[in-house]
Structure 1
Amino acid sequence: MAKVNKAFRERYHDMKLYLPGEEYPDDDQQRVQYLVSQGFLKASEKAVPPKSPTLEEFSELSAAEQKKWLATLGIVGDDSNADKREALYRQYLGVDSSTVDDGAANDGVVNTDADLDA
């Protein structure tokens, strides 16, 4: 459960009015996080943070959702494109990024197309 900081009507609970000091159910962790970020709720110490997505799940999220996850996890960096967001998340997960083509390395692959340089 989360504590209500500011009075608000919750659209997902049939416009129920929540008053300061009341408990807000934490069935939907993403909604609770949003309301905490907006200052309407204060998460209780008992609240369990949502499970972080796997790298594959993260890569399937929209750009806005990826940025939201990075912010939620306190990850700061250049998140201007999908590759950079994924690299930041890889670093957070501790996944070896040496096998990922970041544009600067070619992973040992040599282009043997002789016409390319002509």
Structure 2
Amino acid sequence: MVAKVIQDFRERYQNMKLYRIGDTYSLGDAERVEYLVSQGFLKVSEENDVLDKKELTFEEFAALAAPEQKKVLNDLNIEGDDSNAEKREALYKAHLENGLKENDGNVNADGNTDA
């Protein structure tokens, strides 16, 4: 199960930590999760967090809503102007292209050479 933030809020029981739309909230305190769901801050689903499991294709990234795109960029430590969809997509496309260049040639992603 996954608890996803659907409205930005600061968690008073976690030193005023800021949770943004798309963030994952810990299910450790079931009573607190239930309260936050009832107040419209969280949504609990049976699905696993797919975004954390694999890197998205450009098309999958482009299909995400703006808050989700910003979260993906933030999770990947990609910094830049993400004020509109075109700029966010350009940042993600550059990330994908850099990944291809780094793994291009005769060296495998794990560092072993092809010989």
What TM bracket, shorter-length normalisation? 0.3 to 0.5
Higher relative contact order at CA 8 Å, sep ≥6: structure 1 or structure 2?
Answer: 2
Q: How does the TM-score come out when normalised to structure 2? A: 0.44
Larger Rg: 1
